[in-house]
Structure 1
Amino acid sequence: MLLKVCFFSPTAYSYFDKSKNLWAGGAEIQQVLVAREMAARGIEVSFIVGDYGQDDVEVFGDITVIKSFAPFKGNRKLRFILDMLKIYRAMKIADADVYNQRSTSFYTGQLAYFAARLKKKFTFSIGIDYNCLSDCGGFLPKIMCRLYRYGIRKADAVIAQTEQQKKLLRENFDVEATLIRNGIYIPTGTSHDDALDKVENALQGKEKTREFLWVGSFRKRKRPELFVELARRIPEARFTLIGGVGDDKDYYEKIVKDAEKVENLRYVGFVPPERIDSYYRKAFALINTSYLEGFPNTYLHSWIYGTPTLTIEIDPDGIIEREGIGRKTGSFEELVRSARELCSDENLRNHMSQRAWNYVRKNHDIKDRSQDYIELFERLIAE
C-alpha cells in the first residue's frame, strides 16, 4: 500500500512559494526536508499550511500544499471554531495515513482529536526543549498547554531530537518517544580540504582576520546582544550577524542599532535559506548565545562545511564537547576566552572542523533520517 503522509505547519508556506516574504524557522525546514525526501521516494506527501491568499490546493513539485486558516490575524479566541473547521477540512482533503506536526502549538490537541476521528495516525515531533515540559516552560498560555498535553498523550508516536528530550518526555508525560535526529542535505563532490580552502580564501587580503557568525531570529531567548558584545570585546576579529524580526520589534530594533555602532560587526539582516550557505562556508566559527533551543539547525548548516561551534549553553546530548566539534563555555566570559583561543590556534580550529565534518555526515544525513520517519510511519499504519 502506498504510504500517504501529511505535514501540518501553518508557517511553512514560504518554503514553497518563494515570492512570499514570510517568517519560517527551524521546525518548518525540518518538516520540509523530510517531506521532499519522502516525495522523492514515491511517497504521496501533502502539507497543510496557513491561508496567505493562495488557492485552496496547490502543487509544488511532488508535494500537494493545502490551505487552512490565516495565522496571526484577528482574535484567536473568537475565530477558534472557524479555524478548527478549516484545519479539519484540510485534513480531509489530504486524506493521509499519517499526520505530523512539529513544535508546540495551540493546535496539537485538536490535530490529535481530528486524526482519531478520521481513523488516521497522528505523530508529533519535538521542536524545542520546552515541548517536553507539561507546563510548556511558562512560554504558552494555560489553555494552550492543556490542549498540548492532550495532544501529546493521544499521539500515536512522539519523536524526540535528543536523548535528553526522550528523558524529559518520559518524566513529564509518561511517554516513550522515538529518537530521530534532525537531518540536512549533505553536499557531494567536496572534501574537508576543500572546506578549509574556502575559509583560507575568505581570509586573503584581510590579514587573516577571523570571522565569527551568528544566525537566528532576534528573540530574547537567543540573546543576540551577547554576540554584539563579543564583537566589542574582540576587535581583532570580524563578526557577521544574520537574522530578522522575532516576536518583539522594539527588541529587534535595539539590537540592530547597537550592532551598527560596532566597527568590526556587520549586520546583514534576514537571508533566505537558498542564499545562506556561503556565510556558513566562509565562517571561522559559528557562535550560539541562546539559553533555550531544541537541536539548532544552524549547527547542522555549519558542520556540513566543517565550521565548528562555540556555544554558551546549548550542547544537545553533549555532542559538541564529546565529539570535539567546538566548545560549550558555560558563561559569556569563557566564550570570549574560547573565541580568542580559536583565533590564535589554527590547528585547533582545523581539528574541530574535521570532527564537525565527519560527525554530521555520519549522524545527520537527511536521507537516513527520512528513512527513520518512513519506517516509523509504516509501523504505525501496520498496527
Structure 2
Amino acid sequence: MLVTIVSLWAQKLFRLDEPQPFGGAELQLTLLAKALVKRFGVEVQFITRGQGPFEIFEVDGIRVYKLAYRDFPPARTILGSWDLLRLLLSLKTDIYVQRGGGIETGIVGMASRMKNKPFLFMTSHSWDVDGTHEKNRGWIYGTLYMTGLRRAAGIVTQIQNQHDLLWHNYGRESLVLPSAHEIPAPIPIKKEGVMWVSRCETWKCPHVFLRLAEALPDLRFTMVCPQANSRELFLEISQKAAALNNVTFLPGIPFEETEPLFATHRLFINTSEKEGYPNTFVQAFKWGTPVVSLHVDPDAILSTRELGVCANGDETALRNAVKQMYCDEGWWKKYSENARSYANATHNVQVIVEKFYSLLQSLKK
C-alpha cells in the first residue's frame, strides 16, 4: 500500500532547523506514519512545506517531499495551493490522508477526485466540525474546506463530541480514533514544577499561565512557547516571563525534548479557549502528570475519569486547583495513577495504528 500524507506544517518534525512550528495534528500524522512503516511495511510519502527550495529526502523510511514556503500570505494561498495540487497529481498513490481543516483539505479533495483515489480526512480541532471554517474564515477558505470534506471517503474524529457534531452539522459518519503515542515503561518517582507547552497564539492564552505563575511565587513554572503567527505577542510573552523569577521560558524545543519535561513535572496546565483533544494532554497522561485546564475538557475526561481538573473558565478556580493538587500528595498520586492507566488503555500507538491500518485497507480502491 502506498499512502500519501499531507501535513504542511510538519517539516520541523523531520528537520530540526526548520523555523516554522508544528502542532498536534502534525505530530500525530508523523507518529502514525512511522508506525505504519515499522509495523506493517506500508510505503509512506509525506508532503510538508518549509524554508528553502523544493526538496526530496528520506527519514525513518518515510519519503518526504518539502514544498517551498512562500513568505507573502497571498502567494502562499494561491501559488502554494497550486504547488500542492501539482505535486499531488504527479505522485502515484493508493490513498490520501490529511488532518486538520484548511485550504489544503480542499486541494487534497480535488486531487482525490481527479485521480480517483480515496481521501481520508482526520479532524484536529472542534473548529473542523462546528461550522467555524465556513462561517468565520472567509469564502475561499470555507469553500475549499467544504469541498474537501465532501470528497472524503472516510473521516476520523478525535473524540465522541466531534463525532456527534460532524453528524449533526454535516450528516457525515466518522470513526472515533484517539491520538496515538508511545507509552513509556518506567516513569520518574520524583516530579516537581508546573508546566505549559503550546504555540504562542492569542487563543491559547499564554498570559493566563504567567498570571498563574505570578500568583503562586513559591512554585516553579516552565513555559515552552515557540513563536507562531505574531512576533509582537511572542516578544510580549517572553519579556513578561523573563520578569518572573519562578518562570523558566523556553522559546521552542524539539518534540523529543518535551518528553523529559512531562516526565519530571508535577502538573500540566492548559489555558486555551478551545481545542480538540490536545496532544499535550496525552503526553501528560502517559507520564502520570495530571492536567489542570482553564476551559478544555474533551468528552469531560478530566472530571469523569479523574485525570485532572477543568476550571470552566474561572482563573481563580484554576489557581486553587493547582495549589491543592500540587500540595495534596494523596490527591495528586490518585490522579497521576489514573492518568497513566488511561493513557495506556486509550492512546497506545500499537493499538491505534492497527485500527488506522485497517481503516486505510477498507478505503483503498
Which TM-score band (shorter chain)?
over 0.9
Aligned twin of 2:56: 57
Matched, 1:312 2:294: yes
Q: 1:198 to 1:138 in 2, by over 3 A?
A: farther
SS at match of 1:10: coil
What's the CA shift for 1:79?
6.7
After superposition, the C-alpha distances for 1:166-207 in whole angstroms (9 at most, x for unaligned) are: 11111211111111111111123x2xxx43x232xxxxxxxx
**Structure 2 residue aligned with 1:204:** none
Matched residue SS, 2:52: coil
Alignment pair present for 1:368 and 2:351: yes
Q: Say how many residue pairs are matched.
A: 363
Aligned position for 2:106: 109
Corresponding position of 1:37 = 35
Q: AA paired with 2:143?
A: R
> Out of 110, 125, 148, which is 1:128 matched to?
125
Distance of 1:22 and 1:78 partners within structure 2:
14
Shift of 1:76: 2.6
Structure 2 stretches lacking a partner, 5+ long: none
> What residue is the counterpart of 2:252 in the other structure?
270
| Pairing 1:48–2:47 present | yes
Secondary structure of the structure 2 residue equivalent to 1:245: coil
Q: Distance in 2 between matches of 1:60 and 1:274?
A: 15
Q: What displacement does 1:75 show?
A: 4.8
How many angstroms apart in 1 are the aligned matches of 2:325 and 2:60? 44
From 8, 15, 19, the counterpart of 1:10? 8
Q: Distance in 1 between matches of 2:170 and 2:347?
A: 27
Supply the distance in 1 between the matched residues of 2:311 and 2:354 (Cα, whole angstroms).
35
**8 Å CA contact retained: 2:226, 2:250:** no
- Residues 160 and 336 of structure 1: is their aligned pair in 2 closer, same or farther, counting only changes over 3 Å? same
User: Counterparts of 2:193 and 2:55 in 1: how far apart (Å)?
Assistant: 45
Q: Structure 1 stretch 221-230 or stretch 127-136: which is displaced more?
A: 127-136
Give the structure 2 partner of residue 183 of structure 1: 180
Query: Which of 210, 216, 241 is 1:259 aligned to?
Result: 241
Q: Please list, as runs of the form range in 1=range in 2, the aligned pairs for 1:147-158 lying within 5 A after superposition.
A: 147-158=144-155
Q: 3-state DSSP class of the match of 1:5?
A: strand
Q: 1:310 to 1:75 in 2, by over 3 A?
A: closer
Moved over 3 A (4+): 82-85
Shift of 1:263: 2.0
**SS of structure 2 residue aligned to 1:360:** helix
Question: 2:17 maps to what in 1?
Answer: 19
Would you say the 8 A contact 2:134–2:146 is kept in 1?
no
Match of residue 224 from structure 2: 242
| Partner secondary structure for residue 103 of structure 2 | coil
SS at 1:76 equivalent: helix
- Mapped contact 2:193–2:222 kept (Cα < 8 A): yes
Q: Which of structures 1 and 2 has the bigger CA Rg?
A: 1
- Would you say the 8 A contact 1:159–1:180 is kept in 2? yes
CA–CA separation in structure 2 for the residues paired with 1:45 and 1:298: 25
Structure 2: how far apart are the matches of 1:259 and 1:86? 40
- After superposition, the Cα gap between the structure-2 partners of 1:53 and 1:313, relative to the gap in structure 1 and judged at 3 Å, is same
DSSP-derived class of the 2:155 partner = strand
One-letter amino acid of the counterpart of residue 336, structure 2: S
Cα distance, 1:295 vs structure 2: 0.8
Q: Normalised by the size of structure 1, how large is the TM-score?
A: 0.90
**1:308 offset after TM fit, Å?**
0.5
Change (3 A) 1:85 1:225: closer
Alpha carbons of 1:22 and 1:72: their partners in 2 closer, same or farther (altered >3 Å)? same
Aligned residue for 1:324?
306
Aligned residue type for 1:58: F
Residue 341 (structure 1) aligns with: 324
Conserved 8 A contact 2:69-2:76 = no
How far apart in 1 are the matches of 2:50 and 2:321? 46
The answer to whether the 8 A contact 1:10-1:71 is kept is no
Instruction: Tell me, in whole angstroms, the C-alpha distance in 2 between the residues paired with 1:39 and 1:77.
Output: 34
- RMSD, aligned CA: 1.8
The code of the aligned residue for 1:212 comes to: V
- 20-29 or 123-132, larger mean C-alpha shift: 20-29
Provide the rounded CA distance (Å) in 2 between the counterparts of 1:240 and 1:19.
Answer: 23
Q: What letter matches 1:174 in structure 2?
A: G
- Scaled by the length of structure 2, what TM-score is found? 0.94
Alpha-carbon distance in structure 1 between the residues aligned to 2:65 and 2:171:
34
Shift of 1:139: 5.1
Name the structure 2 match of 1:165: 162
